[in-house]
């Protein structure tokens, strides 16, 4: 191992911390296995304005302050493992998708809201799945070392809503940057666990089953190092433990600002040469470990004497690697580094340990173990190294500020709706135990209001729907905008809606009651237009049978009473008649009797027969055994009723239901303000009617067949004269005049 310095007089630890120049903040460590570890730092650090309380009580909504450098007391155990330069750390292959700044975050406008670009969002979700899986395994690997100590796990990056949309692109950018900071903190937590366990990465490699892309296979997991901030590391024997467990280290070389320069605790655990030798000796004493002299270790040293065997004299080389590569598992290309122009200074003797059989060096992939060459000279860094490669700057986004219209879904990553409701119910039960009296009254008022008014208003409860996400494979909770609540609500039954009074939220999910369904059009006809089969006394033997001539004068079967309640349409005693009598006496349709067609009918023809009976208010009637109408004729009749041209069976123009003096006057039942008067007969078969609503509007219509009016009044949704006339014109009725 070798440590490179730009000048030996500028070694860290010499002089005061405030006198260190920017050139002392950049160092590089090169191991014999050709791996480069850059030791970066910042010249000035920002002091955290205030310190939060116990992180177990509530994690802050903003993770960005936890990336700052001047923490007097660590609020989380893995705070020292956060890299000082997060953008340089995100240049490795594993974290390349996180390498964005505020001005370069890729956004796209979909509708009225901004979203992260689809390909970047997909990479972030895959990385989150891998990182969370790795953290779970890391916590399991050190579970026997806890001894009652809790692990302060940072929330998932999705909690900071990088996958959501927002009408304001500036706020969405801030949400994405916070999510990126959460990624860094979780990786620091993984590094913290790796520092506490011997052979940590061996255990992780055995238990990690990658389910993502090929870029995350187990061989590259060994290339993840540990980030350590020597100024804030307050854990006793931290460096000795890491060295003994052969963990690659990333050492922070920065310094605090003037307000914290006098704090001596920052030098308490700075690794010295003596500590390094003690750690190597301890590693030799660990049972079952036979390692080399530190070629797998990359660590920065403070207060190192010039004649130390851990420091080599720099040798000039050509084409040094770019600034910022080789960070946290990055792939370093050494092809552009030329051999030294002069032989390096001979080092003192090294203590040699026999290597582990078939074991590649730390920080190396297995396939590169055979390509090892002799030790490379350390890299010489100038006082002004090349600038860092900034991410690609995206186009400047022009936007118009809009009001916030969306609420967070509160669903965790990978959480199903059953788990979500169980978690909410457990939280509500716990809240109820400590609920105050005013809060209880407010909750009860909400519940009472939802019983009276199901659909929430513009200022009512928030509405969320559960829809299946094909990519995730489970239901995702999405917020419904205020203007879309009424339309979305009509798609669910009451049993598929659940209200949470504690959070004042509605959840709509078809899986709440999979058996619920909406009434079909035939079921509505059955209820509104004399569904004989649903009448309570349909099978009673005491039902009164009326003759066909009595049926015309009774307000019973076959009358088209539109816009009436189903209970009012059901007679006290069922009046029955045959289907043939209804066609002749009520609708005026006479079909000559013929022999019964015994040929089999298709499914479509059978449906037409049933539909024809429903339209003619004779769905459950019996058939005349003497003058039976074949089913084939009923299918033709159904086609004629729905056609907009010539029909084989024309309704008589003198249909009594269009006569205002008739007790079964349809327009009077439909809308009492309509006035209809018969003007004259046109060409002997067509009648001209004048329809008005009692106001200025008046229409004269030529009615060729009464069936058009029947279907219009029965299935139309018209409420005004204009709407009714427009609907009638679609059924072949011609408009004579319009005033």
**Cα–Cα distance for residue pair 594/587, rounded to 1 Å:** 20
Tokens matching residue 338? 């030329």
The DSSP line for 201-265 is HHHHHHH----S-GGG-GGGGGG--EEE-TTT---TTHHHHHHHTT--EEE------GGGTT-GG
**Strand-pair partners of 227:** 250
Residues of the chain with pLDDT under 70: 1-60, 68-77, 79-80, 84-85, 88-89, 91-93, 141-152, 195-406, 517-577, 581-599, 611, 613-622, 625-627, 638-687, 689, 691, 693-698, 702-721, 724, 726-739
Residue 637 covered by a domain: yes
Residue 389 covered by a domain: no
**527-547 per-residue burial string, b: 16 or more CB within 10 A, e: under 16:** bbbbbbeebeeeeeeeeeebe
Enter the pTM of the model. Answer: 0.31
Question: Cβ distance 277 to 64 under 8 Å?
Answer: no
Given this model, what pLDDT does residue 625 score?
66
Q: Where a domain ends, among 481, 512, 543? A: 512
Question: Cβ distance 222 to 201 under 8 Å?
Answer: yes
**707-736 per-residue burial string, b: 16 or more CB within 10 A, e: under 16:** bbbbbbbbebebeebeebbebbeebbbeee
Do 593 and 626 lie in one domain? The reply is yes
- Domain hosting 661: range is 656-738
Do 532 and 623 lie in one domain? The reply is yes
Residue 71 covered by a domain: yes
Do 339 and 214 lie in one domain? The reply is yes
* Residue appearing with tokens 């655990």: 269
The DSSP line for 712-734 is HHHH----SHHHHHHHHHTTT-E
Closest CA to 583 of 592, 571, 596, 570: 592
Question: Cβ distance 116 to 164 under 8 Å?
Answer: no
Pairing of strands 462-469, 505-508: parallel
Given this model, what pLDDT does residue 661 score?
57
Do 665 and 635 lie in one domain? The reply is no
Tokens matching residue 296? 């797998």
Given this model, what pLDDT does residue 130 score?
83
Question: Cβ distance 107 to 218 under 8 Å?
Answer: no
Do 579 and 477 lie in one domain? The reply is no
Do 222 and 335 lie in one domain? The reply is yes
Closest CA to 144 of 75, 200, 202, 225: 200
Closest CA to 350 of 252, 277, 438, 432: 277
Q: How far is CA 336 from the centre of its chain?
A: 45
* Residue appearing with tokens 């494979």: 473
Query: If phi over 0 gives left and psi between -120 and 50 gives alpha, with beta otherwise, what is residue 329?
Result: left
Other Cβ atoms closer than 10 A to 300 = 22
Given this model, what pLDDT does residue 115 score?
93
Residue 180 covered by a domain: yes
Tokens matching residue 696? 């200025």
Do 61 and 83 lie in one domain? The reply is yes
Do 429 and 565 lie in one domain? The reply is no
Helix (H) / strand (E) containing 431: helix 417-433
Do 554 and 503 lie in one domain? The reply is no
Q: List all residues 6 or more positions away from 53 whose beta carbon is below 8 Å from its beta carbon.
A: none
Q: Where a domain ends, among 512, 529, 544? A: 512
Residue 647 covered by a domain: no
Per-residue CA distances from 556 to 551, 578, 700 (Å): 7, 13, 31
Give how many domains the chain has, as a whole number.
4
Given this model, what pLDDT does residue 129 score?
87
Given this model, what pLDDT does residue 295 score?
31
Per-residue CA distances from 296 to 47, 228, 330, 331 (Å): 35, 17, 16, 16
Do 458 and 576 lie in one domain? The reply is no
Q: Where a domain ends, among 343, 371, 399? A: 371
Tokens matching residue 50? 């205030």
The DSSP line for 329-385 is SPPP--TTPPPPSSPPPPPPP----PPPTT-PPTT--GGGGGG--SPPPPPP--SSP
444: three-class secondary structure by DSSP = helix
Q: How far is CA 506 from the centre of its chain?
A: 18
442-488: per-residue pLDDT in tens? 888 888 888 877 788 777 888 899 988 877 788 888 888 877 887 78
Do 506 and 531 lie in one domain? The reply is no
Do 334 and 426 lie in one domain? The reply is no
Given this model, what pLDDT does residue 452 score?
76
**Cα–Cα distance for residue pair 218/399, rounded to 1 Å:** 44
Residue 377 covered by a domain: no
**Cα–Cα distance for residue pair 57/285, rounded to 1 Å:** 41
Residue 664 covered by a domain: yes
């Amino acid at each position: 191992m070798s440590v490179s310095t730009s000048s030996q007089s500028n070694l860290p630890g010499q002089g005061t911390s405030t006198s260190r120049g920017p050139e002392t903040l950049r160092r590089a460590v090169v191991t014999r296995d050709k791996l480069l570890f850059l030791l970066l730092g910042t010249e000035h650090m920002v002091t955290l304005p205030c310190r939060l309380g116990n992180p177990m009580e509530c994690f802050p909504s903003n993770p960005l302050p936890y990336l700052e450098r001047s923490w007097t007391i660590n609020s989380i155990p893995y705070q020292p493992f956060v890299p000082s330069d997060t953008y340089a750390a995100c240049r490795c292959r594993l974290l390349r998708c996180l390498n964005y700044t505020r001005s370069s975050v890729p956004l796209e406008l979909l509708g009225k809201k901004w979203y992260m670009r689809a390909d970047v969002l997909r990479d972030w979700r895959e990385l989150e799945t891998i990182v969370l899986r790795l953290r779970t395994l890391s916590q399991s690997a050190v579970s026997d070392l806890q001894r009652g100590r809790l692990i302060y796990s940072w929330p998932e990056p999705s909690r900071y809503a990088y996958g959501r949309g927002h009408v304001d692109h500036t706020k969405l950018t801030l949400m994405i940057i916070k999510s990126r900071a959460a990624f860094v903190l979780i990786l620091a937590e993984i590094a913290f666990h790796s520092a506490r366990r011997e052979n940590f990465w061996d255990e992780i490699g055995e238990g990690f089953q990658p389910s993502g892309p090929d870029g995350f296979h187990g061989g590259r997991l060994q290339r993840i190092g540990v980030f350590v901030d020597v100024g804030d590391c307050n854990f006793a024997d931290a460096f000795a433990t890491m060295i003994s467990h052969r963990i690659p280290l990333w050492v922070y070389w920065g310094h605090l600002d003037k307000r914290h320069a006098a704090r001596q605790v920052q030098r308490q655990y700075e690794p010295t040469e003596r500590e390094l030798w003690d750690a190597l000796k301890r590693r030799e004493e660990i049972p079952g470990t036979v390692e080399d002299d530190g070629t797998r270790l990359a660590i920065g040293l403070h207060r190192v004497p010039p004649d130390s065997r851990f420091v080599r004299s720099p040798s000039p080389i050509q084409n040094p690697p770019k600034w910022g590569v080789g960070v946290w598992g990055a792939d370093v290309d050494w092809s552009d580094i030329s051999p030294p122009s002069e032989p390096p200074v001979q080092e003192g003797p090294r203590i040699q340990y026999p290597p582990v059989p078939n074991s590649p060096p730390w920080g190396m992939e297995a396939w590169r173990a055979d390509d090892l060459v002799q030790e490379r000279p350390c890299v010489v860094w100038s006082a002004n190294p090349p600038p860092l490669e900034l991410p690609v700057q995206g186009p400047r986004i022009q936007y118009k500020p809009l009001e916030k219209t969306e609420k967070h879904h509160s669903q965790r990553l990978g959480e199903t709706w059953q788990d979500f409701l169980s978690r909410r119910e457990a939280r509500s039960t716990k809240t109820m135990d400590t609920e105050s009296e005013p809060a209880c009254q407010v909750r009860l008022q909400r519940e009472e209001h939802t019983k009276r008014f199901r659909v929430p208003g513009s200022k009512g409860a928030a509405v969320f729907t559960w829809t299946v996400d094909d990519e995730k494979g489970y239901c995702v909770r999405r917020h419904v905008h205020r203007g879309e609540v009424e339309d979305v609500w009509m798609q669910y039954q009451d049993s598929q809606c659940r209200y949470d009074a504690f959070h004042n939220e509605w959840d709509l999910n078809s899986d709440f009651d999979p058996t619920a369904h909406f009434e079909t059009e035939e079921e509505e006809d059955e209820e509104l237009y004399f569904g004989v089969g649903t009448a309570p006394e349909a099978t009673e033997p005491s039902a009164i049978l009326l003759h066909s001539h009595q049926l015309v004068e009774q307000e019973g079967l076959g009358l088209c009473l539109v816009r009436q309640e189903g209970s009012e349409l059901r007679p006290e005693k069922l009046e029955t008649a045959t289907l043939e009598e209804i066609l002749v006496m009520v609708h005026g349709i006479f079909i000559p009797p013929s022999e019964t067609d015994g040929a089999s009918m298709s499914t479509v023809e059978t449906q037409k027969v049933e539909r024809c009976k429903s339209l003619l208010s004779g769905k459950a009637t019996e058939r005349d055994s003497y003058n039976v109408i074949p089913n084939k004729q009923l299918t033709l009749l159904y086609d004629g009723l729905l056609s907009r041209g010539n029909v084989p069976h024309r309704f008589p123009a003198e249909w009594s239901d269009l006569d205002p003096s008739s007790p079964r006057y349809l327009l009077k039942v439909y809308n009492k303000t309509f006035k209809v008067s018969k003007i004259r007969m046109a060409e002997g078969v067509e009648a001209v009617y004048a329809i008005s609503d009692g106001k200025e509007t008046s229409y004269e219509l030529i009615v060729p067949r009464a069936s058009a009016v029947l279907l219009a009044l029965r299935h139309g949704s018209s409420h005004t004269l204009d709407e009714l006339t427009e609907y009638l014109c679609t059924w072949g009725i011609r408009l004579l005049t319009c005033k």
